[in-house]
Amino acid sequence: METNAAPCSTAEPLAPDQAQPLLRALAEPIRLQVVHALQHGERCVCDLTSDLDLAQSKLSFHLKVLKDAGLIRARQEGRWIYYRLEPSTLLLLRDWLAQLAAGCQSAATPCS
């Protein structure tokens, strides 16, 4: 069984109200550690618990926040749940940040 948040489309640019839950989810250091732990591919929750030295209940809370934000997806195999990053959401976030970076290079219009 695979579960994930609503799919993100790369066709539409990310709006500020769409960026807010992503940035909020990433603002927590533990969730950044989870994202970093998933950077090389799918991981079992048992491995994440061990590698991050977190109680399963605490890790589950942070995984739910990341999943609800659409940053990760989960699949169940037997009694274990496996998590991985959601590339389409990361690409949307990357593109949004690139737009901000490109726009901030413009000089101000002279005042009259």
Report if residue 87 sits inside a domain: yes
Report if residue 104 sits inside a domain: no
Would you give the end-to-end CA distance of the chain in angstroms?
62
The three-state secondary structure class of 27 is: coil
Report if residue 4 sits inside a domain: no
Report if residue 50 sits inside a domain: yes
CATH number, domain with residue 45: 1.10.10.10
Give how many domains the chain has, as a whole number. Answer: 1
Write out pLDDT tens, residues 31-85: 999 999 999 999 999 999 999 999 999 999 999 999 999 999 999 999 999 999 9
54 vs 6: CA distance, rounded Å: 28
Write out pLDDT tens, residues 85-107: 999 999 999 999 998 888 888 78
Question: Which run of H or E residues covers position 87?
Answer: helix 87-103
Report if residue 30 sits inside a domain: yes
Report if residue 106 sits inside a domain: no
Mean pLDDT for the stretch of residues 8-27 = 80
Report if residue 68 sits inside a domain: yes
Boundaries of domain holding 48: 15-97
Which residues are within 8 A (CB) of 5 and not within 5 positions of it... i.e. 6 or more apart?
A: 67, 68, 69, 70, 73, 86, 89
85 vs 94: CA distance, rounded Å: 14
Report if residue 102 sits inside a domain: no
> Against a cut of 0.75, is the pTM above it?
yes
